[in-house]
Structure 1
Amino acid sequence: MQKQNRILPIQGVLGTLNPFKEKKQRIMNYNPATGPINRRLTHCEKISLFDYNAEHCEELSTKDQSVIFKFLESPDATWVNIDGINKEMVHEICTRYNIHNLLEEDIMSIGQRAKMDEIGNYLFCLLPMVYFNEETSTIEQEQISIVLGKHFVISFQEDAHRDVFDTIREKLRIPRSRIRSAGTDYLCYSLLDIIVDSYFTVIEKLGERIELMEELIQHQPNTRTLARINFLRRELLLLKRAIAPVRELINGFMKSESDLLDERTTKYFKDVYDHIIQANELAENYREMILNLQEQYHTQINLKMNEIMKVLAVVTTLMAPLTLVVGIYGMNFDNMPELHEHYGYYTVMGIMFTMLVGMITFFRKRGWF
């Protein structure tokens, strides 16, 4: 019973099939030739700002976007993180920071492949931030866009209620920390690094579900188990599709000759590159494990079917000679001497019982059941 309870989070799979189908169609069927899909117009949930150097750090949290423009001429490094965005706000920020309209269009578009661009005096990248929903055992993601300038980093998030940047915020509050002493290029590296590292948490969660599926196949190889395996396979496919292009994104930073990237900082991107390669390899390994689970499921089903056929074959074999005897003595001929014997019935029943016991003994000695 404990093993079954450990699988309970996946039991809502069939009930969430329609939302998953919509998500799959949105991610898998995105066609860049038809143009980007604009975001729904929402209000800005929160703007967090850090303006810092090695000795000083000013932290703000507001919903008024005009506040961030006071730091346009700040000589210190500035990080602006925007949660919950809309077209008007993005347009105003891009206009004030002189960000190219192509980058503005990318920020406002969803369903895009992770990428990195160099336009003008800015480095731009967008990539998915992924989360694992424990209740539904599904992977959720949001698109995050990052603009790196000479003295600032602006990050745009869809979800205002969760991200993985708390560790960076804590480091920024520590005087003379490495991130406080370095420039905005190191901050950009830190954002990418922590996003990529969060992929491992999601992959590990999927790995736990796959291990539980291995146990479940041994005890409950039924159609519901197969549905759960297929569900995990599709979720892993969506994850792999989302994070695979991030490798090219990091490689773009490594090969970039932009003045915004210090040579001392560029080497850190090699570490992120190694991490994303490892994440892709883990995702591919788990994909192979799921394929093995499907083969294992079909093997278990075949073994179960063979056992059933074996039992039916044994029963049929045991009943065949008895049926023959009954058929012979069931014929309606008058000239059958055994029919008029006083103990004929008991004799025939004894013979049939002896045949049955003899055949069972023979089958057991041969190890047939």
Structure 2
Amino acid sequence: MAVKQLRALRPAPAPALPPPTPRVQTIIHGDLEWIDIQHPTLAEMNELRQRFGFHPLNLEDCLSKVQRPKIDSYPEQGYLFVVLHFPRFNKRTRHSEPAEVDLFVGRGYLITVHDGQLKPLAQLLHAAQTDEALRARLMGRGSGYLLYRVIDRLVDYIFPILGKVDEHIEYIENGIFDRNTRDLVQHLSLVRRDIIALRRIIKPNIPVLRLLTAREWPFLRVDEDIYFGDILDHLDKQWDMLEDAKDIIEGLNSTLDSLTSHRINEVMKILTIISVILLPMTLLASVYGMNVDLPLDEHPAAFSVVVCLMLGAALGMLFFFRIKKWI
């Protein structure tokens, strides 16, 4: 029995952890190769330079943490280098932060370089590895179409983020006339900061996609105006949504400031009325509290007379305030 009890008390074996995602993944379909690199190193960038002949400044940009969205074309070498930023919500700071993705695209290859924080890109990569039919749809029409599908997935992922912003704005609208506005002010400030961050992330992508749409790139083998124009329409729509959210949140902020100022004025008015009413009463009490000869000092009803004078002064002040419509 003791042995059985000891066996029963043994902890269950820990579940096997999933294998870590490799930093460098390669997917090949036909004559198209998709290379995905997470957290790039100098050695990996040197390998790309030796194999594809990329410009050293582009490889240096991949290692740098601070880059603005841009597009560099190298028609002689036959490739494009594209830098784009997409929002990633930070639950700790409660606002969106930029996540960069660098893309090399040429005839027969697409290379994505990023820090692994973009979930839609990781999901698309995993689906392309495991689903043969999806891999054929993604990679069966050349590198230009694959570039379109990658950017389109990342851009579409912004819509749920903007939907969360709209939900927060609706919450603020519903609670703006509540008496307890301390939490609401903090919530409004966080949403306002998130909108500013999203505007800073999304806006620089628009001229990059506009340039990608305006020109024809022979090695992409796609109709740029149709495919990348569709992505540009999505970005323009997202920018319009942010503009509307910005206008609404500024209006709510002004409304909240006006309500807060009005409530403070109401409190100050009440405190001022109380102080003015108590002022003559305090004056009479102070005068008759002095150790000097005063009228009615020896009269047996002196206390009652003084109290009546105090009440009369208070009622007189209240009547005066009522006539002035201050209360």
| TM-score for both structures, normalised by structure 2 | 0.78
**Offset of residue 235 of structure 1:** 3.8
Deviations 1:77-98 (A, max 9, x none): 2212112210111110232122
Distance, in Å, in 2 between the alignment partners of 1:150 and 1:83 is: 22
What secondary structure, in the 3-state scheme, does the structure 2 residue paired with 1:51 have?
A: strand
Q: Which amino acid aligns with 1:149?
A: G
- Deviation sequence 1:189-223 (CA, Å, 0-9, x none): 0111111122223333334344445536844444x
Instruction: Quote the Cα distance in structure 2 between the aligned partners of 1:203 and 1:93.
Output: 36
Alignment counterpart, residue 88 of structure 1, candidates 36, 43, 47: 43
The change in CA–CA distance for 1:269 and 1:341 in structure 2 (over 3 A counts) is: same
* Match of residue 220, structure 2, among 252, 261, 266: 261
Q: Assess, with a 3 A threshold, how the Cα gap between structure 1 residues 358 and 49 changes in structure 2: closer, same or farther.
A: same
Q: Rg bigger for which structure?
A: 2
- Partner deviation per Cα, 1:272-301 (whole Å, 9 max, x = no partner): 001111222222333333433443343233
Question: Aligned letter for 1:87?
Answer: L
1:341 maps to which of 299, 306, 313? 299
Quote the RMSD (CA, aligned, Å).
3.1
Superposed CA offset, 1:88-137 (max 9, x none): 11110232122222322222222111011211200220112321133441
Aligned counterparts, 1:82-121, within 5 A: 82-119=37-74, 120-121=77-78
Q: Does the 8 Å CA contact 1:132/1:205 hold for their aligned counterparts?
A: no
List runs of 5+ in structure 1 lacking aligned partners.
Answer: 1-43, 53-74
Of 47, 55, 58, the residue aligned with 2:24 is: 47
Contact 2:176 2:184 in 1 (8 A): yes
**Kept in 2: contact 1:253–1:269 (CA 8 A):** yes
Structure 2 residue runs of 5 or longer lacking an equivalent are 1-20
| Partners of 1:128 and 1:143 within 8 A in 2 | yes
3-state DSSP class of the match of 1:110? coil
In the alignment, residue 305 of structure 2 is paired with which amino acid?
Answer: T
Aligned length: 301
Distance of 1:105 and 1:198 partners within structure 2: 28
Contact 1:189 1:268 in 2 (8 A): yes
Instruction: Check 1:265–1:178 CA distance in 2 against 1; reply closer, same or farther (3 A cut).
Output: farther
Tell whether the 8 Å contact from 1:218 to 1:300 is kept in structure 2 after alignment. no
* Residue of 87, 108, 113 corresponding to 1:156: 113
So what's the TM-score if we normalise by structure 1? 0.70
Equivalent position to 1:206, from 161, 165, 171: 165
The structure 2 residue matched to 1:140, chosen from 65, 90, 97, is 97
Asked whether the equivalents of residues 206 and 232 of structure 2 are also in contact (C-alpha less than 8 Å), the reply is: yes
1:90 alignment partner, SS class? helix
